[in-house]
Amino acid sequence: MIFKRKLRYVLVEASRSVNLGDEREERDLRSRLHGVMGEAAYFRANPRTAAQLSESVFIISVNRGCEKDLGLALSFVKTLGSESVGFWTIKTSGTVKGLKAQFKKLYG
């Protein structure tokens, strides 16, 4: 029997421009999340970049039930690459479409 993974999508804002299309920045973010969350929690959450909406706003997908862990871990990430950065969790939703609508409301 195949089980469908239920995901939650988290809208995240950074204090500076973050290009998660760049493999080095995405790898660095994953590495820092892994260090903060620990191995078991990181693999249980399985965070992945779902969409980049602007230079500093993006969506991360996680397994359902782990969105609070991701938000807490992101608050402890202080550097990305060689530059300092801060992350804020704006909203959590079950669909990317819902977060894109929320992004348009908040950022125009």
Local confidence pLDDT in tens for the 108 residues of the chain:
677 789 999 999 999 999 988 899 999 999 999 999 999 999 999 999 999 999 999 999 999 999 999 999 999 999 998 899 999 999 999 999 999 999 999 887
Q: Residue 64 falls within a domain, yes or no?
A: yes
* Owning domain of residue 90: 7-95
Q: What is the pLDDT of residue 3?
A: 74
Helix (H) or strand (E) holding 52: strand 48-52
Give 95's DSSP letter.
Answer: -
Q: What total number of domains does the chain contain?
A: 1
Helix (H) or strand (E) holding 10: strand 7-14
Tokens of 15: 């204090």
Q: What is the pLDDT of residue 2?
A: 73
Q: Residue 36 falls within a domain, yes or no?
A: yes
Q: What is the pLDDT of residue 22?
A: 87
